[in-house]
Amino acid sequence: QVQLVESGGGLVQPGGSLRLSCTASYSRSMFSISAMGWYRQAPGKQRDLVARISRGGSTNYVDSVQGRFTISSETAKNTVYLQMNSVKPEDTAVYYCYVKGARLTDFSFNVEFWGQGTQVTVSS
């Protein structure tokens, strides 16, 4: 059982900035997080990875956001952030927080959970 709560979405003008936050709530006896990140899904398109950060601090970004977005985390708070700068209309999408880890109750590895999503709209 992992509950993800996202916040920070909304309407922003092209070139502006936005910060998304996601906090995971779970029992440490049931789950161990190995990575957190963000996916996005634009209308009529499939869900794509935007950025992710591992428990060890390594990060990955999709090429289209490299240099504009920054992912960070506070592991003690089980929180991941996505700082979005110089946003473009093509960044418009529903952004989903996700966590990946091991479910300790049945020794399942690389299980994933997603939040409900937060809408980001880049428009003037």
Q: Is the pLDDT of residue 34 over 80?
A: yes
Sheet strands (E) in the chain: 2-7, 10-12, 18-26, 31-41, 48-54, 59-61, 69-74, 79-84, 93-103, 108-114, 118-122
Note the pLDDT of residue 80: 97
Mean pLDDT of the region 34-58: 95
Share of the chain above pLDDT 90, in %: 87
Note the pLDDT of residue 29: 87
pLDDT tens for each residue of 75-92: 889 999 999 999 999 999
